[in-house]
Chain A
Amino acid sequence: MSPAATPSPAAAPVALRHRRSVRRLTAGQLADLRQAITAAQAINDDRGYQNWAGIHGLPLPISCVHHHELFLPWHRAYLYFFEKALQERVPGVTLPWWNWTVEHAQGIPAAYAKRQADGRKNPLFDSPIQPSGRERPSQARTTRAPGPPGELPSPETVEAVLANRDFLTFQTQLESVHDGVHVWTGGTMGDIAVAAYDPLFWAHHAMIDRLWYLWQLRHPGAGVPAQLLDRALAPFPITVRDTLDVSRLGYDYAAATAAVEGPGRG
Chain B
Amino acid sequence: MVDRFTTAPLELPATDRPFERADLIFYGLDHSGASFEARVFMDQRGVGGDADTTHRAYVGSFFILGHGGCFGDVGHCDIAAERDPFDLRPAHQLEPAVRVLTVTEPLRALLERGVEAAKVTVTSHTEGRAPNDVLTFETVRLATYA
Nearest residue, chain A, Cβ from B89: A234
B63 at the interface (CB under 8 A from A): yes
Question: What residues of B have a CB within 8 angstroms of the CB of A193 in the complex?
Answer: 67-68, 71
Q: Which chain B residues in 85-108 approach chain A with CB under 8 Å?
A: 90-91, 93, 95-102
A26-34, A183-191, A218-226 - interface stretch: A183-191
A23 to B8, CA, bound (A): 47
A89 at the interface (CB under 8 A from B): no
* Cβ contact within 8 Å between B66 and A192: yes
A182 to B68, CA, bound (A): 13
With A145-B128, A193-B68 as contacts: A176 and B90 at CB distance below 8 Å: no
Q: Which chain A residues in 126-152 approach chain B with CB under 8 Å?
A: 135, 145
User: Which of B63, B67, B98, B128 sits near A192, CB closer than 8 Å?
Assistant: B67
Question: What residues of A have a CB within 8 angstroms of the CB of B37 in the complex?
Answer: 180, 183
B35 at the interface (CB under 8 A from A): yes
* Cβ contact within 8 Å between A190 and B35: yes
A169 at the interface (CB under 8 A from B): yes
A172 at the interface (CB under 8 A from B): yes
B82 at the interface (CB under 8 A from A): no
A177 to B60, CA, bound (A): 12
Q: Which chain B residues in 49-95 approach chain A with CB under 8 Å?
A: 61-69, 71-72, 76, 90-91, 93, 95
CB distance from A113 to the nearest CB of B (A): 19
* Cβ contact within 8 Å between B93 and A65: yes
* Cβ contact within 8 Å between B63 and A176: yes
With A67-B95, A135-B71, A172-B99 as contacts: A190 and B127 at CB distance below 8 Å: yes
B41 at the interface (CB under 8 A from A): no
Most chain A CB atoms below 10 A, which of B36, B64, B69, B101: B64
A68 at the interface (CB under 8 A from B): yes
A66 at the interface (CB under 8 A from B): yes
B31 at the interface (CB under 8 A from A): yes
* Cβ contact within 8 Å between A66 and B93: yes
A101 at the interface (CB under 8 A from B): no
Question: What residues of A have a CB within 8 angstroms of the CB of B63 in the complex?
Answer: 176-177, 179-180, 182-183
Most chain A CB atoms below 10 A, which of B69, B127, B128: B127
Question: What residues of A have a CB within 8 angstroms of the CB of B67 in the complex?
Answer: 62, 66, 192-193
Question: What residues of B have a CB within 8 angstroms of the CB of A182 in the complex?
Answer: 35, 63, 65
* Cβ contact within 8 Å between B127 and A172: no
* Cβ contact within 8 Å between A60 and B72: yes
Annotate A55-95 by CB proximity to B: 1 below 8 A, 0 otherwise.
00010101011111010000000000000000000000000
Question: What residues of B have a CB within 8 angstroms of the CB of A192 in the complex?
Answer: 35, 65-68
A173 at the interface (CB under 8 A from B): yes
Most chain A CB atoms below 10 A, which of B31, B69, B72, B93: B93
A211 to B47, CA, bound (A): 35
CB distance from B77 to the nearest CB of A (A): 10
Question: What residues of A have a CB within 8 angstroms of the CB of B90 in the complex?
Answer: 65, 68, 70, 231, 234
27 contacts between A and B (CB under 8 A): A65-B93, A66-B31, A66-B65, A67-B29, A67-B31, A67-B96, A67-B97, A68-B93, A135-B71, A169-B100, A173-B100, A179-B62, A179-B63, A180-B63, A182-B63, A183-B36, A183-B63, A183-B65, A190-B65, A190-B127, A192-B35, A192-B67, A192-B68, A193-B67, A193-B68, A195-B65, A231-B90
Give me the interface of A with B, judged by CB distance under 8 Å.
58, 60, 62, 64-68, 70, 135, 145, 160, 169, 172-173, 176-180, 182-183, 186, 190-193, 195, 231, 234
